[in-house]
Amino acid sequence: MFSIGIGIGTQNKSNAWLEVFYPRPLLHPSPEFPSFLEHFVLAGNEGTLALDEATRSALCAVMEQPDQLALLETLKDSQKPCVLTWLKIDGPIESTPAAYLKLHLLSHGLTRPNSLNLEGIYAALPNIAWTSDGPMDLSELPDAMLLARLAGRHLEVTSLDKFPKLTNYVTPEGVRIADSARVRLGAYLGAGTTVMHEGFVNFNAGTEGPNMVEGRISQGVFVAKGSDLGGSASTAGTLSGGGNHVISIGEDCLISANAGTGISLGDRCTIEAGLYITPGTQVSLLDEQGDLVKTLKARELNAQNDLLFIRHSQTGVVQCRTNRQAIALNAQLHQHN
């Protein structure tokens, strides 16, 4: 068994799943764990088991894992639909509960970005109205807004999106998030990470920690420990323009304010403020004396260590020098316990 999750979620009026919350998802449960599932028919590589009272009680009778048993006991008072979701293999996503289980695996830190098969996730995730009364089917939103007004209330709609806020589902340990709307469920945040107000972390992306994030970490991008994304800095994701190159940022790097990269950076690299490096950017490679070695495209420097990307102050030519100074983050700033 690849993964199992016991969850509580929301369905629309047609009983189609909108979202599922998994408090304690399991990755590669012990060989003994799935034995209790032998009491039920689990067909296919993924699926769901509706946890009505009879099914929940039957599971409780054979469940041997204390934390999962406690969760099942808690669900007995639920006013919302409950479900057990299983993934026998890490295959393409076929359902909304399976999509949410994989997003939880990432945000609980059980898997890292780019380690899961997320094929089919967009088809599996409905576009939802995220409101002060919880998630709603878009077609049901107008009636809900009217009913709220009739009751003297205002229904706040924070977004119309496939992905919810991470913090409505998971509380990562040792992390600061200044604006919760800017970190999606499915983001991986390592301990010591600070995401400032203008920082953004997409699903299937994130930080090893500790890191300072004042820029954008796009889908598929992983930032190693000690690196800093300055204000409005950006990283090219795999979703834009049909790209399939996965960008990574090494340790102790600095992407300065309003800068960005479309290539991977190794360790101890710096990109000066306002400079965006694309794979096709023409770069003058300089030796330690500042003499020109050759001109090449930035993709030839992909994932190499100790690089400093700057622009010549007069000609505007992009230059690359050896960077001998690592960027040291403020250790005190990243203590979030």
Cα dist from 108 to 85, 240, 293, whole Å:
16, 26, 46
Residue/partner pairs of 155-161 with CB below 8 Å, 24 or more apart? 155/131, 156/131, 156/132, 157/129, 157/130, 157/131, 157/132, 158/130, 158/131, 158/132, 159/129, 159/130, 160/127, 160/128, 160/129, 160/130, 161/127, 161/128, 161/130
Q: 62: Cβ–Cβ under 8 A, 6 or more apart, which residues?
A: 35, 36, 39
Annotated catalytic residue 173: no
Q: Which of 19, 46, 208, 214 is catalytic?
A: 214
Tokens 């039920």 — which residue? 40
User: Comparing C-alpha atoms, which of 316, 319, 317 is closest to residue 301?
Assistant: 319
Pick left, alpha or beta for residue 177 (phi over 0 → left; psi -120 to 50 → alpha; otherwise beta).
beta
Lookup: tokens for 90: 């890490």
CA distance 273 to 255: 7
3-state SS record for 233-249: CEECCCCHHHCCCCCEE
Contact 183, 189 (CB under 8 A): yes
Query: What residues contact residue 92 under an 8 Å CB cut-off, 6+ apart?
Result: 117, 119, 120
d(CA 80, CA 221): 35
| Dist. CA 253–CA 269, nearest whole Å | 5
Indicate which residues carry an active-site annotation. Answer: 214
